[in-house]
């Protein structure tokens, strides 16, 4: 059995399967057999081949993704490939769970992730209108001898776009903690190009009080330039957000965007190299905070 995983970063299950250019091919044990890195014209959003025209995705039995539109599902169904969307982010775990008939459904916001402008069908001999499905996602695939299950889309999985650490260095108060985070970023040559005070905004706009919460936009100008030159739309994935937040007990946590997970959505080799460099810088940043 061959199972395809849409994975723009070759590490986690990612969504927007119709626009995806990278897929992991695994066997039923979760062992990696192959990596597909398709040219733009072979992603299904751009590909106009007939249903019987050869495509690199051919030969798989099921495709697992974080989100896909009904048009994409229909196109692959005509190629004999079943599409299953899930909130599970680990490829090997997704394979195991689908064989056990326990694959969790997708997150609600991912369920129709290709529908708006991307879920329509482009191939020869089939329609161009938007095909929408309604209601909660249903997971029905199970191997022979296994009970089939139906799960509602209320189950939420862990998202792999960021990681958090508790700030371990001494700080006087929340504002001092924020300044320490900024200093640690500067030490790794990462500038702060934006500073959103969510606590102050909520208080001013809604008279709603929350503990300290700041969103810092971290940027390395040469890396940002490489992203935009590689793909002018890549700026939508910038900057790298770093959240500094306090809890009710006064502890301070720092949440750091995963550049490889986010920039991997671009499906661009040069942007992937930028993401690797940014990840190394952020690892040094975390170490300075005691994480």
pLDDT in tens, 43-77: 888 888 888 899 999 999 999 999 888 888 888 99
What three-state secondary structure class fits 23? strand
The β-bridge partners of 252 are 246
Q: What is the pLDDT of residue 108?
A: 67
Measured in whole angstroms, the distance separating CA 114 from the mean position of its chain's CA atoms is 14
Residues of the chain with pLDDT under 70: 108-160, 291
- Helix (H) / strand (E) containing 284: helix 269-288
Sheet strand arrangement including 3-6: 32-37, 22-26, 3-6, 62-65, 82-85
φ/ψ of 165, rounded to 5, equals -135, 155
Minimal CA–CA distance to 94: which of 72, 61, 63? 63
Contact 32, 95 (CB under 8 A): no
DSSP string, 83-147: EEE-S---HHHHHHHHHTT-PPPPPGGGTTTTHHHHSS--STTS--S-----SS-------TTSP
Q: What is the pLDDT of residue 127?
A: 39
What three-state secondary structure class fits 184? helix
What three-state secondary structure class fits 36? strand
Contact 102, 109 (CB under 8 A): no
Minimal CA–CA distance to 238: which of 250, 248, 225? 225
Cα 43 to Cα 59: distance, rounded to the nearest angstrom = 16
Q: Which two tokens stand for residue 258?
A: 């995963």
Residues in contact with 252: Cβ distance below 8 Å, sequence separation at least 6, in sequence order: 166, 167, 171, 174, 177, 212, 244, 245, 246
Q: What is the pLDDT of residue 291?
A: 66
């Amino acid at each position: 059995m061959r199972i395809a995983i849409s994975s723009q970063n070759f590490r986690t299950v990612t969504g927007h399967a119709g626009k995806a250019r990278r897929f992991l091919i695994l066997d039923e044990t979760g062992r990696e057999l192959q990596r597909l890195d398709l040219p733009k014209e072979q992603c299904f959003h751009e590909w106009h081949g007939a249903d019987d025209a050869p495509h690199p995705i051919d030969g798989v039995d099921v495709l697992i993704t974080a989100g896909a539109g009904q048009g994409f599902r229909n196109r692959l169904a005509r190629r004999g490939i079943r599409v299953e969307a899930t909130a599970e982010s680990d490829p090997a775990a997704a394979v195991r769970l689908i064989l056990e008939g326990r694959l969790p459904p997708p997150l609600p916001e991912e369920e129709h992730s290709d529908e708006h402008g991307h879920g329509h069908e482009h191939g020869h001999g089939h329609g161009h209108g938007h095909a929408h499905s309604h209601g909660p996602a249903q997971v029905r695939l199970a191997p022979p001898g296994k009970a089939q299950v139906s799960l509602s889309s209320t189950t939420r999985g862990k998202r792999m776009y960021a990681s958090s650490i508790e700030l371990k260095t001494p700080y006087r108060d929340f504002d001092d903690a924020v300044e320490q985070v900024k200093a640690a970023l500067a030490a790794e040559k990462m500038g702060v190009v934006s500073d959103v005070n969510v606590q102050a905004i909520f208080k001013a706009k809604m008279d709603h009080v929350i503990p300290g919460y700041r969103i810092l936009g971290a940027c390395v100008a040469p890396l940002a330039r490489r992203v935009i030159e590689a793909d002018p739309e890549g700026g939508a994935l910038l900057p790298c957000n770093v959240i500094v937040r306090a809890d009710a007990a006064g502890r301070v946590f720092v949440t750091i965007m995963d550049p490889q997970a986010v920039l991997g959505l671009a499906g661009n080799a040069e942007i992937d190299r930028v993401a690797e460099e940014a990840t190394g810088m952020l690892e040094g940043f975390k170490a300075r905070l005691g994480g």
